[in-house]
Amino acid sequence: MFNDIAPRYDTLNHLLSLGLDKRWRRAAVRRAAAVCPTAVLDLAAGTGDMTLALLKRYVPQHICCADLSPEMLGRGKEKICRWLDKRFWKKRLARGICPPTTDFVECTAEALPFADGSFDVVMIGFGVRNFADIPQSMREIARILKPGGRLVVLEFSMPRRGFFALLYRLYLRLYLPLVGGLISGSFKAYRYLPSSMAQYAAESPLLPAITASGMAVVEQRPLSGGTVMLTVGGR
Ligand SMILES: C[S@@+](CC[C@H](N)C(=O)[O-])C[C@H]1O[C@@H](n2cnc3c(N)ncnc32)[C@H](O)[C@@H]1O
């Protein structure tokens, strides 16, 4: 499914979130940059927007983008390499900042092909909801994080009460499947999105999976009226 929507994914992201996705990513990468990581994994990296948001704020020595969709990852690689070529070399190298080494790995979150203790930070933008086995992916993340390492997760959530919650449900039922379907050409994907968001919000599987993996929940912060949840875990 993600292979099908990859060509229009970025445009739709900005359009459907009314541009707020950039603000959510900035809030997430602030938490990632706070520990001055050397090695960062952008898991379920898709077209690379979390990585780009991080690089605009902080440059680790190594950044790895991992995703199960070759199409999404290919677009991410192209975008990040283009950004590094154009922006990084001119501005940062002149100031003596070294460029990061980058890696693009096709894999699933449930079986990460990395050695124990490889990363200081794992960040996941809007990917957890799609994982086939969230507890297993959290165990894998706990394994590949260094002691003291950090997990930063952005995921959709549901405002629970009031007029805004009603409006948001209408947006999910009507606007999102229609606009998403028309622009991406995949009505299936944009019918799946609201139903996966509702199911994920109802089950709330992330926090128990984080604690069962041996990590601790350090912060949980609702963003934009509770439509998105920022979760920070620590090992
Ligand atoms: C909604 S996109 C998010 C992309 C990007 N992180 C962002 O913030 O825009 C979700 C991504 O998760 C990936 N994905 C879904 N299930 C996965 C899994 N089990 N392991 C790794 N990646 C997965 C999809 O291929 C897709 O690229």
163 lies in some domain: no
49 lies in some domain: yes
Calculate the average pLDDT of the chain: 91
10 lies in some domain: no
212 lies in some domain: yes
Residue type, 161: R
Mean pLDDT calculated for residue range 61-70: 97
Residue nearest to atom 27 of ligand 1 (CA): 46
Ligand 1 pocket residue status of 67, Cβ below 6 Å: yes
Residue nearest to atom 7 of ligand 1 (CA): 125
Residue nearest to atom 10 of ligand 1 (CA): 127
pLDDT in tens, 172-217: 888 888 888 888 788 887 888 888 888 898 888 999 999 999 999 9
Range of the domain at 62: 17-158+204-234
199 lies in some domain: no
Strands (E), 94-210: 101-106, 119-125, 145-156
- The predicted model scores a pTM of 0.92
Domain count of the fold of the chain: 1
Phi, psi of 69 (to 5 degrees): -95, 115
Confidence class for position 39, pLDDT limits 50, 70, 90? very high
pLDDT of residue 149: 98
Residue nearest to atom 14 of ligand 1 (CA): 44
- Here the CATH number for the domain that contains residue 56 is 3.40.50.150
Strands (E), the chain: 39-43, 62-67, 101-106, 119-125, 145-156, 216-223, 228-234
Mean pLDDT calculated for residue range 71-94: 84
Q: Which atom of ligand 1 approaches the CA of 3 most closely?
A: 25
- Measured in Å, residue 83 CA sits from the centre of ligand 1 at 21
79 lies in some domain: yes
75 lies in some domain: yes
